[in-house]
């Protein structure tokens, strides 16, 4: 949030700055983490190694069930008229039904 404020809401620039900070910090660079960040225009994944990844189709998924949720979301975007929130919910439910490490306790935060 600090980076977003500093860069006046420019998600791409804020993500690059966060990734740079992550890469250069002695402790943060040890993290094996992924961060999914989105706004109305962009979807990005920031890795613990300092990479900023922008998917071609704008759909992001992270975590143990991420690949299942990603596949489900792509199918739902292509073949349904569900809202974005409904696509997220159904994709996560699909992942939970396949991946033993993904549960159905879903919390979606919209700003």
How does pLDDT run across 39-54, given as a tens digit for each residue? 888 999 998 888 999 9
pLDDT at 110 over 80: no
| Count of positions (residues) in the chain | 111
What is residue 2's predicted lDDT score, i.e. its pLDDT?
A: 84
Indicate the pTM of the whole model. 0.82
The C-alpha atoms of residue 96 and residue 49 are separated, in whole angstroms, by: 27
Rounded percentage of the chain residues whose pLDDT exceeds 90: 62
The whole-number average pLDDT for the span 46-68 is 92
Number of H helices, E strands in the chain: 4, 3
The helix-helix angle for 66-79 and 84-98 (nearest 10°) equals 140
- pLDDT score of 5: 82
**What is the separation of C-alpha 90 from the centre of its chain, rounded to a whole number of angstroms?**
16
pLDDT score of 88: 94
């Amino acid at each position: 949030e600090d980076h977003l404020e500093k860069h006046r809401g420019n998600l791409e620039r804020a993500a690059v700055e966060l990734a740079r900070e992550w890469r250069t910090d002695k402790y943060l660079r040890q993290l094996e983490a992924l961060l999914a960040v989105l706004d109305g225009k962009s979807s990005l994944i920031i890795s613990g190694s300092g990479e900023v990844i922008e998917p071609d189709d704008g759909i992001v998924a992270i975590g143990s069930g991420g690949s299942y949720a990603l596949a489900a979301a792509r199918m739902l975007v292509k073949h349904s008229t569900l809202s974005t929130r409904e696509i997220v919910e159904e994709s996560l439910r699909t992942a939970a039904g396949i991946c033993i490490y993904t549960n159905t306790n879903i919390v979606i935060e919209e700003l």
